[in-house]
Structures are given as C-alpha cells and as structure tokens.
Amino acid sequence: MTAAGEGVTGPARRMAASLLALGRIRLELLALEVEEEKERLVSLVFWSVLSALLAGFGGLLLVLWITVALWDTHRLAALGVSAVVFLGAAAGGVWHVKRSSASGPSLFRASIGELRRDAAALDDPPAP
C-alpha cells in the first residue's frame, strides 16, 4: 500500500498533475512557435512590399530617363525593351517569393518532435 492516508487518490492526483504540467509545457512551446512563425511572415511581407515599391519607383525613373534620352530616334523601342525588362524582373520576384515561402521551417516542428519523444518514452517498457 502507499503512504498512510494517501490511498489510491494520491498517485492518481500526482499523475494528473504531471500530465497537466506536461500539457502546459507543450502548449507553451506551441504558442512560442506560432509567435515565431508570425514574426517570420510579417517580416517576409514587409520586405517583399518594400522591395517591390522601391524597384517600381527606380524602374519607372529609369524608363523615363531612357525614353527622354532616346525621344528623337527610338522612343518606342526604349519603352518596349523597358517593358520586357520589368516583366522579367517581376517574374523573377514571384519565383523568389514562392521559393522563400516554400523553404521556410515547418510549422510546429519542435512541438511535433517533443510529442513524438513523449510517445516513444511511453511506449518503451520500464527497465527492471
């Protein structure tokens, strides 16, 4: 029998307290991972938008400059080549954003790993 006055409820309470503590720790880890993923996504969106705006302004000024410089002779060719360059740069930017978003860390990777270790520890029989 267990310690005096403890009966069956003592070990059950300790086990329930351990399970609650384990669940709380896992939820804290999950919340931390969600926060990190949110920060990564906000940063990705911010830098993507900022880069697109700056590239757009710079490109527009460059096209304007080239067009004015070639106004008397090849203004349509200058505008056409500039349009092709911009469309190519836009396609490259879309490719980069897709690649960056696909290569990010998987969501809840650490939590899933911890849960797998917990399950493996529970599956292993105790050593005699």
Q: Can you give the pLDDT at residue 107? A: 66
- Considering only residues 59 and 124, tell me which one the structure prediction assigns the higher pLDDT: 59
Q: Can you give the pLDDT at residue 8? A: 75
Buried b (16+ CB within 10 A) or exposed e, 89-102: eeeeeeeeeeeeee
Q: Can you give the pLDDT at residue 128? A: 60
User: Where do the domains of the chain lie?
Assistant: 9-120
- Please report which confidence band the pLDDT of residue 1 belongs to, taking 50, 70 and 90 as the band edges: very low
- Please report which confidence band the pLDDT of residue 124 belongs to, taking 50, 70 and 90 as the band edges: low
Residue type, 26: R
The dihedral through the CA atoms of 60, 66, 72, 76 has a sign that is negative
Give the span between the Cα atoms of 33 and 30, in whole angstroms.
5
Task: For residues 65-87, give the mean pLDDT.
Answer: 86
